[in-house]
Amino acid sequence: MSKNVVVVGAQWGDEGKGKIVDWLTESVQGVVRFNGGHNAGHTLVINGKKTILRLIPSGIMHPHVKCYIGNGAVVSPQALLAELDELERHGVDAEDRIFVSGHCPLILPYHVALDHAREASLGDRKIGTTGRGIGPAYEDKVARRAIHVNDLLDPELFAEKVRRNCELINFMLVNYYKAEPVNSEEIIENILKLAPRIVNKICDVSCTLNEAMAKGDQFLFEGAQGTMLDIDHGTYPFVTSSNTVAGSAASGAGVGPQKLNYVLGITKVYCTRVGEGPFPTELFDEVGETLRTRGNEVGAVTGRPRRCGWFDGAALRRSVEWNGLSGLAVMKLDVLDGLETVRLGVGYEYKGQKLDVMPVGADALYQCTPIYEDFPGWTESTFGVTRWEDLPENARRYLNRLSEVAGCPIAVISTGPDRSQTILMHNPFN
């Protein structure tokens, strides 16, 4: 009987999902991306060699595995093909192992133009998007004017839809945002040049996955961004434009939820956030800078420095609830090595009350003050440790309390960026 695992970011993204998906891919026949676009950066380090993936699932580094982009994701033709070319330059033949749902909405240049114009108009109230057109593409999907991958099969229909959408987009760009209009004919010409390579990858992802599962094949479902950026549940309006929680794996890939057997939440032993929005445990001192430097906390896609802070247990407890997490993969333990004191957020003070879980929405979270428990640090190095018993006693104590506060068992501990630098407490596929 097949077993399928969903991997989601349990914080604000950038938790290290790429490494864990790559590491678990040895147990599956396929990896499925079910939300987001090329605004997500997944960094893999294999035998010391770094590869950054954005839209293509992290399992692509395994030559036996097929990778699928489900209908819940949005696809930039230029970004997808550029990423395939980049993989080829790294010696990874991925061209015939990538399959794309025909019902994925396309991200087109006018989405990017609108994204930039909107952020510029917001000034100090900007959301902090990556500027890659993700939000406007999802807006078109909800407004029922999206252009899908399948539309590339009919050039005349594709051109007609682009012209119609550009009329609306240009009206907003010129008259509201006072920005330059886009050239619809140029967009049509450039995208149709790429179309033959894209349409070769069109696949009925839902049907393919369900048939393969019936034969006993196992799959990983890879989420993008993090739980706290979910459009419905996150720190709204400082969120992404898709559902990032585990439940969206079912709708974003076209499989029944009963076929998703285990949900693994990825979390760092501290917190980071990119872009704007509330961050209760954020540090502005030397410790925050130490976390940023040691953890190499720079956005894989944007290159922006990440905001860093202590671990937030109240936020993670919410993540456990929203995702129905079966287990945690705790990342970057080695970054805390050598700190005299390690702090762990266990709740908030909010309007004179104590909260054990993160409140919903940005406005309430801005008013929360974290409640901490302090733990003695450890001087021993945890880098590359592969057995629980070999971790320093203080590190084990901290991790046990982290699990207790979150209300979820630890399945995996990462002690370095490489595949091999991992402690397995429980295999999600067992």
Predicted pLDDT at 124: 65
pLDDT tens readout for residues 99-142: 999 999 999 999 999 999 988 877 666 666 677 899 999 999 99
Using alpha carbons, select from 403, 399, 410, 405 the residue that is nearest to residue 372: 405
**Residue 46 above 60 pLDDT?**
no
Q: Identify the H or E element spanning 353.
A: strand 353-355
pLDDT tens readout for residues 11-36: 998 898 888 988 899 999 999 999 99
Predicted pLDDT at 317: 97
pLDDT tens readout for residues 55-99: 999 889 899 999 999 999 999 999 999 999 988 888 888 999 999
Contact 227, 17 (CB under 8 A): no
140 is catalytic: no
Predicted pLDDT at 418: 87
Predicted pLDDT at 430: 85
**Residue 425 above 60 pLDDT?**
yes
Give the other-Cβ count within 10 Å of 142's Cβ. 10
Instruction: Number of helices (H) and strands (E) in the chain: give both, helices first.
Output: 12, 17
For the segment 239-262, the average pLDDT, to the nearest whole number, is 96
What is the identity of the amino acid at 3? K
116 is catalytic: no
Predicted pLDDT at 45: 63
Predicted pLDDT at 311: 98
Active-site entry in 22, 38, 42, 115: 42
Q: How many CA atoms lie within 13 A of 258 on its CB side?
A: 0
Average pLDDT over the chain reads 93
**Coarse DSSP helix, strand, coil percentages of the chain, rounded to the nearest 5 percent:** 40, 20, 40
- How far apart (Å, rounded) are the C-alpha atoms in residues 142 and 144? 5
Q: Tokens 């995208």: give the residue.
A: 191
Q: Tokens 């001087």: give the residue.
A: 379
Name the percent of the chain lying above pLDDT 70: 94
Active-site entry in 14, 22, 151, 312: 14
Predicted pLDDT at 303: 72
pLDDT tens readout for residues 285-303: 999 999 999 999 986 666 7
